[in-house]
Amino acid sequence: GQNIDQPTEMTATEGAIVQINCTYQTSGFNGLFWYQQHAGEAPTFLSYNVLDGLEEKGRFSSFLSRSKGYSYLLLKELQMKDSASYLCAPTYSGAGSYQLTFGKGTKLSVIP
């Protein structure tokens, strides 16, 4: 498998910053997706990183280190609506490169 590891649950306060980490297997690694999934809904695309470094997109940023097999999603100015599961999905080159492989996700609870 791709040995995707991310925390199961996190809690943060409205207005704060939270970092959700993800580690994965590096062999054959191509790029990494982050998706947001509200309870009972479809995953929605947040970011896709291929190169090392930080990519910022509004309140959400995503970081990738290819050599370390590590990524994080940074959420700033947290809002109550950010309470959701955040799914890390590395992709790998080869015949099954279209297969998104999801971890179990990190359930984020934003509290007042």
Write out the residues near other proteins by the rule CB under 8 A: 4, 31, 33, 40-45, 48, 87, 91, 95-105
Closest separation in Å from C-beta 88 to other proteins: 9
Please compute, for residue 28, the number of CA atoms within 13 A of its CA located in the half-sphere on the CB side. Answer: 10
Closest separation in Å from C-beta 25 to other proteins: 15
Q: Rounded CA gap, 29 and 69, in Å?
A: 9
Closest separation in Å from C-beta 55 to other proteins: 15
Task: Name the phi and psi angles at 57, rounded to 5.
Answer: -145, 90
Task: Name the phi and psi angles at 45, rounded to 5.
Answer: -65, 135
CB-nearer residue toward other proteins: 43 or 69 = 43
